[in-house]
Chains A and B, each alone.
Chain A
Amino acid sequence: MDSKRIGIGEISVSRENGILMANGVGSCIVIVLYDPKQRIGGLAHCFLPEGDSESFKYPKGAIKGILKRMENLGAEKNRIIAKLIGGASMFSEFKSQKIGERNVIEARRVLNDLNIPIVGEDVFGNWGRTVSFDVRNGEVRVRSFRHGDKIL
């Protein structure tokens, strides 16, 4: 089966088959959107909380971009659910700009404004994650080195 890696600052949308992946996610935030009826899913790999809203670097632009592409494939907005992964603070002993935390808060805010329910989260902490999103059934597998695997 096809699996596709979504790099930092990129989005991708797929219908009925394929696995969308984001590898080695630290303070970045991965946003997964899914229409379970049509089996249309999208994944965004954002790295900064706020800025020029059209860019896929930011949750706002990325979510907008995915929604548009999903709707073009036939997804309906009122069926779409979301999952959030990432937003870690690696090297928590150093004073940082708290970007991981702010990424999570911003993604939640944007989804909330759009009335998209968040049905699963694996966020914060100080460890890295690799995300595999199976578009056939909406399952999100989160692998980590230090905290085991999780299914959302």
Chain B
Amino acid sequence: MIDAKRLSAIQMDALKEVANIGSGHAATSLSQLLGKKVMVRVPKILTGTLNDVIMKIADPDDIVASVLLYFLGDLTGRTLLLYPYEDAQTLADLLIFQDRVEPKELQESLLKEVSNILSCSYMNALGELLGLLVLPSVPGMIVDMVGAVLSSVIIEFGQDKDFIFCVETEFDFTDSERPLRAYFILLPDSASLEIIFKKLNLTE
């Protein structure tokens, strides 16, 4: 079993590269949907206790629109897309070229669908790169405090609750009127980490 606490520098770099390819594909999909330039930051690997990881991502009180997907198949785990609340609303507006999308249900539905596309292109890219089958679930969406969302996703659906391992990528929409942000968080199960490293010939 891979111990996520003891990853080598090469393994960390490889994971970042894998995440980079996934998020690159996701950014391309988003860019095509919006007709705008989308930038991807260098992925970050976040590890530590629940508290540490949440504080590294955001203030627990911040309101976010969050979309959760499961993935099954050769790799298992979860993906979580987080949009700061204001940015989520602006993104929905951009998607259908309106000033303010009404009603709220339509806004949520739009975000859910775009997140579904992003998560799937991220996971498909990973699957293709590694030659693995990855099947995403239907998305679930909630708008709430980021602390409540993240802690619940990890506690309710995760395996290891004492040591959290996730890969975060930040998306930036640079040429919209004001910069928009989204955070993509990959939470692989530890068995999946092992499979990824095996495929990359990086097991010791």
Contacts and interface: CB of A to CB of B under 8 A. Distances in A.
Interface stretch (B25-33, B146-154, B188-196): B146-154
B143 A146 contact: yes
Interface in A102-152: 126-130, 144-146
Contacts, number: 104
Interface residues of A, number: 32
Contact of B142 (A23, A96, A126): A126
A75 to B, nearest CB: 27
A27 interface: yes
Nearest to A91: B140
Interface of A: 7-10, 23-28, 47-48, 57, 88-91, 93-94, 96-100, 126-130, 144-146
Contact of B145 (A8, A10, A24, A89): A24
B156 to A, nearest CB: 4
A133 to B, nearest CB: 16
Contacts of B161: 47-48
B63 interface: yes
Interface in B91-146: 137, 140, 142-146
11 contacts: A9-B50, A10-B51, A23-B59, A23-B61, A48-B155, A90-B148, A91-B140, A91-B156, A128-B145, A128-B148, A146-B144
B155 A27 contact: yes
A96 B157 contact: yes
B56 to A, nearest CB: 13
A8 B148 contact: no
A90 B149 CA distance: 7
Given A26-B149, A26-B152, A48-B155, 10 more contacts: A7-B51, A23-B60, A24-B54, A25-B147, A26-B145, A26-B150, A28-B151, A88-B148, A91-B156, A98-B156
A127 B144 CA distance: 7
